[in-house]
Amino acid sequence: MNWTYLILILLATLAGGVIPMTIRRINANFTIYLLAFTGAFLFGVTIMHLLPEVYHELGHSAGIYIVLGFFLQVFLQQLSHGMEHGHTHLPGENHHHIAVTPLLLGLSIHAFMEGIPLGFKYEDQSALPSLMMGVAAHKVPEALTLITVMIHAHKSKTQLWQILTAFAVVTPAAAILAWWMGNRFDIVSHYLLYVVALVIGAFLHISTTIFYESGTKHHELSSKKVLAIATGLVLAFLTLIFE
């Protein structure tokens, strides 16, 4: 377990949440392009590092769990209202009456799922550091969106810090738990691979949704958003140098 990476993820989450607390007006394009960049980076890391790993170990059955993970994320976003991929609006609800509990529950489950693959031992030595960077990058816009919505819900500064801190520790805690259980019990180490496949499906859902929905009208891709996506993919390709 690389504790430096976990600290990086924790700090990235806190940093993302602090942005809307300190900057009154955030340019909408900043969030759009940040989401596009981090989504593309996570997508590239998932395709180039995680997919080969699970197919090598699980064979064609890996596809079943990836599809299940994809639709598990579809269910989770009914609770989180798509906040994982940048949606800040809650259809049919007033920001003054946000159902905070299901929102945080959906996001926390997603954050916990993100952490589990970080505690897994990969044959590909470049998989873990690449995934750590991908998750850390994704945490910035994720936390930014969460706190933005909580601010619109008129949460106090103390409540904002409580929500942000609790959310920030979920993913590192899941990574530590998976690492500890995997080292202690061989059967857990085996079944963690199936969980990794589920998370791959969730990552694919989130990243592709970011590409075609978040911050766009009628699903168009602006030249700047394409550039942000391309930059994220190039950075993901560069992670191959870790091999």
Return per-residue pLDDT of the chain as tens, 243 residues.
Answer: 678 889 999 999 999 999 989 987 777 778 888 888 888 998 999 999 889 889 988 888 899 999 999 998 888 777 765 555 555 544 444 444 556 777 788 888 888 988 988 988 888 788 888 889 889 988 998 898 888 888 888 889 999 999 999 999 999 999 999 899 888 877 777 788 888 899 999 889 888 887 776 555 545 667 888 898 899 999 988 888 766
Nearest 5 degrees, angle CA 112-CA 117-CA 119?
A: 95
Largest CA distance in the chain: 50
Instruction: For residues 149 and 95, give the distance between their C-alpha atoms in angstroms, rounded to a whole number.
Output: 8
**Helices 3-22, 157-184: inter-axial angle, 10-degree rounding:** 160
Element (H, E) at 179: helix 157-184
* Residue 221: strand, helix, or coil: coil
- pTM metric for this prediction: 0.81
Instruction: For residues 98 and 161, give the distance between their C-alpha atoms in angstroms, rounded to a whole number.
Output: 18
**Which residue has 């958003």 as its token pair?**
225
Instruction: For residues 13 and 21, give the distance between their C-alpha atoms in angstroms, rounded to a whole number.
Output: 13
Instruction: For residues 243 and 239, give the distance between their C-alpha atoms in angstroms, rounded to a whole number.
Output: 8
Question: From the CB of residue 187, how many other CB atoms can be counted at a distance below 10 Å?
Answer: 9
Instruction: For residues 207 and 156, give the distance between their C-alpha atoms in angstroms, rounded to a whole number.
Output: 31
Q: How many residues does the structure list for the chain?
A: 243
Instruction: For residues 216 and 53, give the distance between their C-alpha atoms in angstroms, rounded to a whole number.
Output: 33
Instruction: For residues 127 and 14, give the distance between their C-alpha atoms in angstroms, rounded to a whole number.
Output: 24
Element (H, E) at 85: none
Q: Would you say 145 and 83 are in contact if contact means Cβ atoms under 8 Å apart?
A: yes
Pair of tokens at residue 218:
């009628």
Pair of tokens at residue 94:
């007033």
